[in-house]
Amino acid sequence: MDSLIGAADSALRTLFAKPRALRACPVVAGDETHLTNQERRLSGALMRVNHVGEVCAQALYTAQALSTSDPALKKQLEAAAQEETDHLAWTAERLEELGDRPSLLNPLWYAGAFTLGLVAGRLGDRRSLGFVVETERQVERHLQSHLERLPAGDHASRAIVAQMKSDEVAHAQQALAAGAMELPSPAKALMGAAARVMTTTAHFI
* Mean pLDDT, residues 66-90 taken together: 89
Residue 69 has pLDDT above 90, yes or no: no
- Of the pLDDT bands very low, low, confident and very high (cuts 50, 70, 90), residue 44 is very high
Closest CA to 88 of 52, 60, 114, 116: 52
* Mean pLDDT, residues 103-121 taken together: 89
Q: Can you give the residue ranges of every domain in the chain?
A: 35-202
Give the C-alpha separation, 34 to 87, whole Å: 23
pLDDT, greater one: 86 or 196: 86
* Helix axes of 185-202 and 106-122: crossing angle, nearest 10 degrees: 170
**Taking all residues of the chain, what is their mean pLDDT, rounded to a whole number?**
87
Percent of the chain with pLDDT over 70: 91
Predicted local confidence at residue 120, as pLDDT = 87
Predicted local confidence at residue 12, as pLDDT = 62
* Mean pLDDT, residues 144-156 taken together: 92
* Mean pLDDT, residues 170-184 taken together: 89
User: For the chain, how many residues are written?
Assistant: 205
Give the C-alpha separation, 135 to 112, whole Å: 14
Which amino acid is present at 86?
A: D
Closest CA to 14 of 115, 82, 116, 95: 82
Residue 72 has pLDDT above 70, yes or no: yes
Predicted local confidence at residue 30, as pLDDT = 57
pLDDT in tens, 47-62: 999 999 999 988 888 8
Which amino acid is present at 117?
A: G
Predicted local confidence at residue 188, as pLDDT = 86
The secondary structure of residue 150, as a DSSP letter, is S
Containing H/E element for 2? Answer: helix 2-16
Predicted local confidence at residue 191, as pLDDT = 84
pTM summary value: 0.88
Q: Which of 14-28, 91-105, 159-173 has the lowest mean pLDDT?
A: 14-28
Residue range 35-202 forms a domain whose CATH class is: mainly alpha
Residues 6+ apart with CB under 8 A from 126: 179, 180, 181
